[in-house]
Structure 1
């Protein structure tokens, strides 16, 4: 193991993940994002900005037999994602390519996908972290509109686009989905505790969707003494977030 990486586990050990020791490390966001993608065995899914692969690995652990296409701008992280796919026995199912979400020509050249998802950098301004990988993961270079357009470009009709975002970026996220032609929005809040404002949201749209937006009850993460039973089912036992 490189001194610059750590070996970790997600989903109660179902996923082995080598990731950078410094920078924004995979955690709840990646697991919750993967739990919200309603993929079925045999489908092709796209992740943009996959980092070391945490989200697509969690999705593959929950839904066997997926085909996975992942895009990552940083060459070192892309190499880690390929290595993690191999370590989890997924080399034949996963392709990781290097690319920028602002490259629409790349997006339009991708094969048709059934679902697309991302945990994009979410802050458009403010003081950025000094560490390069963490800065790239938290502060926008590409806008949310760029991420949504990239993800939507190869989607099949009615294919889903999923973003996990801070609750403060809800308005921007809804606008990005609309600009990408993804309607029938679904909002699922993640409550830290009962009665506490949500800090994270899962925001989804459907390519060409025309139905009304809906707000779901969401998931309460913490209760007395630790995670709630519902959160534990998602975070440890690889349960999905029905939708």
Structure 2
């Protein structure tokens, strides 16, 4: 796979990503920002790709034990290279998230984060590039991703997922009876526009009510008026400075 170098967190992270096919953007950065991990805790990134979410989380919180799982061999190689290049220690397993190896099946984690493929191909066409399709088109139902996350997280631990807002019902359904204290954080491109993405976080075994946060607005202004970035201060803090995105006050 031919790779190029992209910069994240204001240039603090150098990340090898494929020249063609799926490349991570802002989604895994917001995902990592929403994980309320503390030093000494264990983290699983389910479907870690090239490792962007892991890198962002490791750059913000020291002393974590992080594991990434990815079934694409080329992405596994990129994730390992990215960890080495940025000076972080984590393990990346080439494995199927839904049929885990004995090593993974016997493990449990304080936090599980995941950025599953966004598009249900029963309702759309495949991308022309097979590598991009692998990252964007579902080969397994979203419910299986959430089930795998719930199986790997400890009782009282948290799962955090970023997905399209129009798939919110699909994100919530697998949590019924298994996780609670659910927080939904919408991400809206601009004020007064519908959110296109949501971050959903839930605590395994909890029974608390769902909380819907006000949208995080990513760009200033009602429309894009000029070349260059227009990120809001809140978005800049996360995307450029690696700040956390607290989902609860």
TM-score by length of 2: 0.91
Query: What do the CA deviations read for 1:24-48 (whole angstroms, capped 9, x no partner)?
Result: 2111101000100000111110001
Shift of 1:13: 1.6
Structure-2 residue corresponding to 1:157: 155
Structure 1 counterpart of 2:74: 76
**Length, aligned pairs only:** 238
- Specify the SS of the correspondent of 1:193: coil
- Check conservation: 1:101, 1:146, Cα contact below 8 A: no
Q: Does 1:169 align with 2:167?
A: yes
Q: Is the contact between residue 182 and residue 206 of structure 1 (CA under 8 Å) also seen in structure 2? A: yes
Q: Contact (CA 8 Å) 2:156, 2:206: kept in 1 or not?
A: yes
Say which SS state the counterpart of residue 86 (structure 1) adopts: helix
Structure 2: give runs of 5+ residues left out of the alignment.
Answer: 222-228
Instruction: Find 2:232's aligned residue among 212, 228, 239.
Output: 228
Paired residue secondary structure (2:10): helix
**2:119 corresponding residue in structure 1:** 123
1: CA distance between counterparts of 2:106 and 2:173? 24
Deviation at 1:182, TM superposition (A): 2.1
Map 1:206-221; keep pairs closer than 5 Å.
Answer: 206-221=203-218
- Are the structure 2 counterparts of residues 77 and 105 from structure 1 closer, same or farther at C-alpha, using a change threshold of 3 Å? closer
Offset of residue 112 of structure 1: 1.9
**Aligned residue number for residue 109 of structure 2:** 113
Distance apart, 1:162 and its partner CA: 0.8
Deviation of 1:82 (Å): 0.7
Q: TM-score, structure 1 length as denominator? A: 0.93
8 Å Cα contact 1:78-1:97 kept in structure 2: yes
Pairing of 1:1-243 with structure 2 (within 5 A): 4-91=2-89, 94-103=90-99, 109-125=105-121, 126-178=124-176, 181-224=178-221, 226-243=230-247
Q: Distance in 2 between matches of 1:49 and 1:101?
A: 7
* CA displacement at 1:19 relative to structure 2: 0.7
Where do 5+ consecutive residues of structure 1 fail to align?
Answer: none
Query: Per the alignment, do residues 42 and 36 of structure 1 end up closer, same or farther by CA in structure 2, a change over 3 Å counting?
Result: same
Q: CA RMSD in A?
A: 1.6
Query: How much does 1:158 deviate?
Result: 1.3
What secondary structure sits across from 2:172 in the alignment?
A: helix
| Deviation (angstroms), 1:107 | 8.2
Indicate the SS of the match to 1:12. Answer: coil
In the alignment, the residues of structure 2 paired with residue 55 and residue 106 of structure 1 have an alpha-carbon distance, to the nearest angstrom, of 25
- Using the TM superposition, give the Cα deviation of residue 176 of structure 1 relative to its aligned residue in structure 2, in angstroms: 2.5
Question: Displacement, 1:49?
Answer: 0.7
